[in-house]
Amino acid sequence: MKKFVLTLLSIALMSTQLSAESMKAKIGVSLPLTGEIAEYGVAVRNGIQLAQELLPKKLENVDFIYEDNQYEAKKSATAFNKLMNFDKVDLIFSWGELPLHSIAPIAERNKFPTMAMSFDPEPSLNKKYIMRSINYSDQYAEATLQYMRRKGFKKIAIVAAEDPFFNSLLKGLNKYKQSDETIDVVFSFLPDISDFKTAVAKLKNSNYDIMGVYLFPGQVSNFFRQARAAGLTLPAFGTDIFESTTINPR
C-alpha cells in the first residue's frame, strides 16, 4: 500500500494539471464503498489513510477525494466525471474491472491521467492516459493452470458470474489450456442470482476433476451451502474473492 500511494503521488506531481495556486496534488479515488463488494473499496481507503498516518511528511501536500462507485458502470462514470469536472483533481485512481470498462473512454477522450487497479487489461490497451497498477489476468490464469497440472486436474468446470473480472480470467484460462485439458463454463449467472441448485446438481453428476467458482462473495456463500446440502464434494478453486471476510458457507 505504501508503494501504491507513493506511485499515485509521483504521477500526480508530474501531471501538467497540477494546481499551480496551491501546489497540492488532488487525487480522486473511485471505489465501491457501499454495495456487494464494499469491503474491497473500504480496504483501499483504509490503506490510503494508514499511509497518510505513517508518512505525514511525504503526503502532506496530497489531498485524496473519495467517490463511491458501488462497482456499477453508470455510477463509476458519474463518479469519474464529478472528480474530474467538479472536484478538479489532478489524477483519478479507480478500483475494479467493471468501473474501468466504464471510465476508460472518458479518460482517454478527456486526456485525463488515470490509474486503475484492474486484472482485465483490455480497456487500457493502447491508451495514453490510463495506467494499471496490478498484474493482468493472463498471468493469474497461467499460474492457475500450472497448479492444476501439478495436481493432475484436466477436466475443469466453471460456474461464473457475468463480470469483466471473471470474464478476463476465463479468457486467460482458455488461452493457456493445453490440448488434453478441457475448461467448461457449466453455468453463467447474473451477479444477483443466489439459487445454484441446478448447477450443483449438474456438477454432482459430472466427471469433472475440479470446479472453479467465479462468483461474488454473497454468491460464493450460497453456492457452497447448496453444494454441501446436495453432497457435492468436487474440489474447488476460485479467485481472491475467496478471501472475503463476508463469506460464510455455513
Tens digits of residue pLDDT in 7-26: 555 554 444 444 445 578 89
User: Where in the sequence is the domain holding 159, given as residue range(s)?
Assistant: 137-243
Which of 76, 99, 132 is the last residue before a domain boundary?
A: 132
Residue 57 lies in a domain: yes
Tens digits of residue pLDDT in 45-61: 999 999 999 988 888 88
Tens digits of residue pLDDT in 166-217: 998 999 999 999 999 999 999 999 999 999 999 999 999 999 999 999 999 9
Which of 102, 132, 162 is the last residue before a domain boundary?
A: 132
Residue 248 lies in a domain: no
Model's pTM, two decimal places? Answer: 0.81
In this prediction, residue 5 carries a pLDDT of: 53
Which of 78, 111, 132 is the last residue before a domain boundary?
A: 132
Residue 171 lies in a domain: yes
Name residue, grid cell 493445453: 178
Nearest to 205 by CA among 214, 213, 197, 193: 197
Residue 231 lies in a domain: yes
Tens digits of residue pLDDT in 63-116: 999 999 999 999 999 999 999 999 999 999 999 999 999 999 999 999 999 999
Residue 117 lies in a domain: yes
How many whole angstroms from its chain centre is CA 114?
16
What b/e string do you get for 152-165 counting C-beta neighbours within 10 Å, with b at 16 or more? ebbbbbbbbbebbb
Q: Does residue 95 sit in the same domain as residue 123?
A: yes
Tens digits of residue pLDDT in 230-245: 999 999 999 988 888 8
Give φ, ψ of 78 to 5 degrees: -65, -45
Biggest alpha carbon distance in the chain?
Answer: 68
- Here the cell at position 154 is 484436466
Q: DSSP characters for 175-200?
A: HH--TT-EEEEEEEE-TT----HHHH
Report the number of distinct structural domains present in the chain.
2
Residue 250 lies in a domain: no
